[in-house]
Structure 1
Amino acid sequence: MEIASVNGRIHAKNLATSILIPVVGGSIVGALANSNTREQYRRLKSPSFAPPGWVFPVVWTGLYKMMGVAKYRAQEKAKIRGNEQAVLAPYEFQLGLNFLWSFLFFKWGLRGTALLEMGALLGAIIWTAYRFYQVDHLAAGLMVPYIVWVAFALGLNYSFWQLNK
């Protein structure tokens, strides 16, 4: 678990909490906002590059785990420097935006609003990675797959919005 070691130590409780909050939170949001989404997703006109529906929970689970480890590393390093809140504020903001998106797109069918919100989400993730980079380069690096996926999802959201007005 070298990736979870900060200054030669692992605080298991902090690491578990950092991972479980996005993973469990994402699962709860999925249960609340994405009920019946498989059928809804199949009925939408899809762009040619849209992945099958089963891909999303698999990718998101991995991304949530990575962002949890990144948050843990950044938080542990920020504690040492005394700037924990400055480092974690953008993380918490982007996580809230992340959870909101599913409600906008699926539950409420506001695909245009979801598109705008996802643009803000991408900006917030980049801001988070920047803040993480200031205290821990590996934490910032762990955010890169998340940035890439959300950039892809932004294009996907745009295409769904255009095809299903």
Structure 2
Amino acid sequence: MTFPIIFAVAWAVILGLGGGLLTKIGEWYRNLRKPSWQPPDWLFGPAWTVILGLAAWAFVRCWPAAEAAGETSFLIGLYVVNGVFHFLWSPLFFTVKRPDWALIEVPFLWLSVLSLTVFLRQWDELASWLIVPYLVWVSFAAILNWKIVQLNRPFTPAH
């Protein structure tokens, strides 16, 4: 396997498994008031699997052009920054039990996904489009996060 495939698969697996392991659907979460339009819990795993798979594929597609332009460090950096912001959301929401703090983190995640959409286009137009479901899902999740905060505030530190 080549570096871009290894990196892309590792990135997607770490974010998918990490997010899944940090998402504890327990009594606290079940007791939150949620909007009627929230998707069922079982949908989030498959949605993230598809979204992260498409984003990994986008990385692999961009690699040859980024390599030819001497911009592989920038491409890797875009994915690392996104990975950090992606990974932070679940512990803030589910482990610390602070949807309000997770909501503050969402714009950083959203901007990192938007950056992927914008910058990947210079190396591969299809790759840029492969990120669009990620941007749409994070946008939807941000609205859902905001509504959960609105319905359940104030939040206090978890004990």
Pick the TM interval, shorter chain: 0.7 to 0.9
Could you tell me which residue of structure 1 aligns to residue 11 of structure 2? 21
- Residue 126 of structure 1: aligned partner: 114
| Structure 2 residue 56 is the aligned partner of structure 1 residue 65 | no
Q: String of CA shifts for 1:51-86, please: whole Å, max 9, x gaps.
A: 111111110111111111111112232011111122
The CA distance in 2 between the partners of 1:78 and 1:106, in whole Å, is 36
Matched with 1:41 is 29
Q: Hey, what's the Cα distance between the residues in 2 that align with 1:157 and 1:105?
A: 9
Runs of 4+ in 1 over 6 A off after TM superposition: none
User: Hey, what's the Cα distance between the residues in 2 that align with 1:117 and 1:144?
Assistant: 20
Q: Letter of the 1:34 partner, please give it.
A: T
Q: TM-score, normalised by structure 1?
A: 0.85
Letter aligned with residue 28 of structure 1 = G
Letter in 1 for 2:12: P
Inter-partner Cα distance in structure 2 for 1:82 and 1:18: 19
Could you tell me whether the CA contact under 8 Å between 2:62 and 2:120 is conserved in 1?
A: yes
Indicate if the aligned counterparts of 1:75 and 1:88 stay in contact, CA closer than 8 A. no
- C-alpha spacing 1:119/1:61, structure 2 compared with 1 (3 Å): same
SS of match in other structure, 2:81: helix
TM-score, with structure 2 as normaliser: 0.88
Identify if the C-alpha distance between structure 1 residues 20 and 88 changes in structure 2 by more than 3 Å, giving closer, same or farther.
closer
Unaligned runs of 5+ in 2: 154-159
> Structure 1's 52 and 155: CA in aligned 2 closer, same or farther, altered over 3 A?
same
Sequence identity percentage: 32
Is 1:55 matched up with 2:66? no
Structure 1 gaps, min length 5: 1-10
Distance 1:164 1:57 in 2: 24
Deviation for aligned residue 1:13: 5.8
What residue in structure 1 maps to residue 100 of structure 2?
A: 112
